[in-house]
C-alpha cells in the first residue's frame, strides 16, 4: 500500500537522522536539505538511495538536484512510489 504524506515525512526524518545525525523533529517540509539540515550533495545521494529502498521508488540522478527541500522529496515520493 502506498505511503501517506505523513508516513513519508516520518520515514525521511529517520533516514536523515541516520545519515546526517539531524534530530527527526527538525526534519520538516519547509526545511532545505543543504541550508537547514546540513545534508551536503553527497549525503543527499545517501538519503535518496535509502528513500528509494524504503518507499519503492526510483529517483534518477537528474531529478535529485530538484529536491531542494524535504517537502520536494516528500512530494516526489508521493507521486512516484510503486
**Binding interface with other proteins (CB under 8 A):** 40-42, 44-46, 48-49, 61, 64-65
How far is it, in rounded angstroms, from Cα 63 to Cα 56?
16
Minimum CB distance to other proteins, residue 45 (Å): 5
Closer CB to other proteins, residue 2 or residue 40? Answer: 40
Q: How far is CA 10 from the centre of its chain?
A: 10
Give the three cell numbers for residue 38.
546540513
Backbone φ and ψ of 69, nearest 5°: -110, 165
Minimum CB distance to other proteins, residue 3 (Å): 22
Closer CB to other proteins, residue 44 or residue 73? Answer: 44
Amino acid at each position: 500500500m502506498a505511503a501517506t504524506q505523513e508516513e513519508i515525512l516520518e520515514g525521511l526524518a529517520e533516514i536523515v537522522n541516520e545519515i546526517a545525525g539531524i534530530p527527526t523533529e527538525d526534519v520538516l517540509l519547509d526545511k532545505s536539505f543543504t541550508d537547514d539540515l546540513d545534508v551536503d550533495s553527497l549525503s543527499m545521494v545517501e538519503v535518496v538511495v535509502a528513500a528509494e529502498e524504503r518507499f519503492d521508488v526510483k529517483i534518477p540522478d537528474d531529478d535529485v538536484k530538484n529536491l531542494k527541500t524535504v517537502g520536494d522529496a516528500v512530494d516526489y515520493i508521493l507521486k512516484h512510489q510503486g
